[in-house]
Amino acid sequence: MDKGFTLDVGQANKIKLAARRAGATENDITRLCRGKMLAKILPVLRGLAAVNIIEHCINFDASPTVPEGFEVVEHIKAGQLKFDSTKIILMTPKTEFNGVIFGKPYQDQIKELSKRRKIIACNANLLDFYLANPLIIPDEWKGKSIVFWGTIYENWSGRYVRCLVWNGKRWVETWGCLDGWFGKKTPAAVLVNE
C-alpha cells in the first residue's frame, strides 16, 4: 500500500463527476467506502477480475405473498419480466380535495391510466422482490409510501393494498386501506410497458 496516497480536490472532483455520470447515489458511495468493498473492486479496475451483472426476472404472474387472515381479490398479471429500474416509475394520484383522495377512486385512476397509456399497475410480487433486494430500491423513494395497486387483499375489516416504506433503518411493508386516505406521499409503482 502506498502510504503517500493523497486525494486532492481535483481527484475528488473526478470521482464525483464519474459517480454522477454512472447514476451513483450518496448511499452507493457510502457502500463503496464500507469494509472491504473498495478492495473487492480494485481487481476489476486493474484488469484482474470481471464484473458479472445479475439479471433479475420477476414473475408478475405468480401468486403473491398472502399474509394469514387475508385473501387476494385482485391480482394484475404481467408475465415474466426482466427487472429494469428505468421502466418502473412512480405516479402521484390526482387528489380530490385538500390534497388527498380515498383509496378506491385512486385505484380507479390507476386502472383508467392503464387503459389509456402503456402502463401496468405493479403487483405485490414487485414489492416482495424489493424487500428481498433492498439495495435496488431507489433512494428517492425514501419519505414516501409506495403503493402496489396490482394486488388487492381482503380480510374481515375491508380491502387493502400493500405499500413499501423506509422506516429510517430499513425498507418494510405497510398496508393501505381502500377506505382510507392517500395523497402526494403515496405514489403508485407502475411499469411502463412499451
Place of cell 480536490: 9
- H runs (alpha helix) in 34-84: 37-45
- Quick: pLDDT tens for 101-157: 888 888 888 888 887 777 889 999 999 999 999 989 998 999 999 999 999 999 999
- Quick: pLDDT tens for 170-185: 999 999 999 888 888 9
Q: Which residues contact 157 (CB under 8 A, 6 or more apart)?
A: 177
Q: Please state, in angstroms and rounded to a whole number, the distance separating the CA atoms of residues 54 and 67.
A: 29
- Tell me the pLDDT of the chain averaged across its residues: 86
What percent of the chain is helix, strand and coil (3-state, nearest 5)?
Answer: 30, 30, 40
Q: Is the pLDDT of residue 98 over 90?
A: no
Cell numbers for 18: 464519474
Domain boundaries, the chain: 9-45, 57-192
